[in-house]
Chain A
């Protein structure tokens, strides 16, 4: 049971828009700690996709965007492409645990 809750899976057709939610609590996302998102392609290390809730590192397409409200955060992917098929993880800091926590991960399938 992860401290940050993500849907196990989402899917969409090429060109569509999908969103992945990350639900926390008052001790993490709701306490104004930043949320970061990672993309993990099969057999590879995670790659930073969004940092500080909504910022994209250099090289990440603007098809990827992040937002945060209250105790939740979301990752949106527009213009879905086959190469977006991967696992996606959210991350934040939890003051009750005094440590960093990850969501359980969401597997994105491009139909």
Chain B
């Protein structure tokens, strides 16, 4: 059964870069789109962006200037980088398979932006 696992620092300082990795196990990253979604504490879901295994990407226009999503097929991983973070970027970050109708999600990882 395919599983996704987010990993990365749980605490990031303001103005620095948030970096997360999603490791795909039990399946191949090839052939699919892969997404990042976040959820601020007590709030709703926000789509961050997606990447196709071929490397093509699409980002939320409100975050586009600060976000980069990349894929490493050799490691069966894809990654998220978000620059110039502020407290407003504090959230649980989820990785998921697919774009829209995502049927496989990671458990999520809380990233807190604080000095």
Contacts and interface: CB of A to CB of B under 8 A. Distances in A.
B99 to A, nearest CB: 7
Contacts of A38: 45
Interface in A2-56: 2, 34, 36, 38, 44-48, 51-52
Given A98-B61, A100-B47, A102-B44, A51 B101 contact: yes
Contacts, number: 58
Interface string B73-101: 00000000000000000000010000111
A92 interface: yes
Nearest to A55: B101
A101 B105 CA distance: 17
Interface in A65-109: 89, 91-93, 97-105
Interface size class of B (residues with CB under 8 A): 20 to 34
Contacts of A104: 44
B46 interface: yes
Interface residues of A, number: 25
Contact of A46 (B50, B59, B94): B94
Contacts of B44: 2, 89, 102-105
Contacts of A103: 44
A98 B112 CA distance: 28
A61 interface: no
Contacts of A98: 58, 61
14 contacts: A36-B101, A44-B107, A45-B107, A45-B108, A46-B94, A51-B101, A57-B103, A92-B100, A93-B100, A97-B60, A99-B60, A100-B100, A102-B45, A102-B46
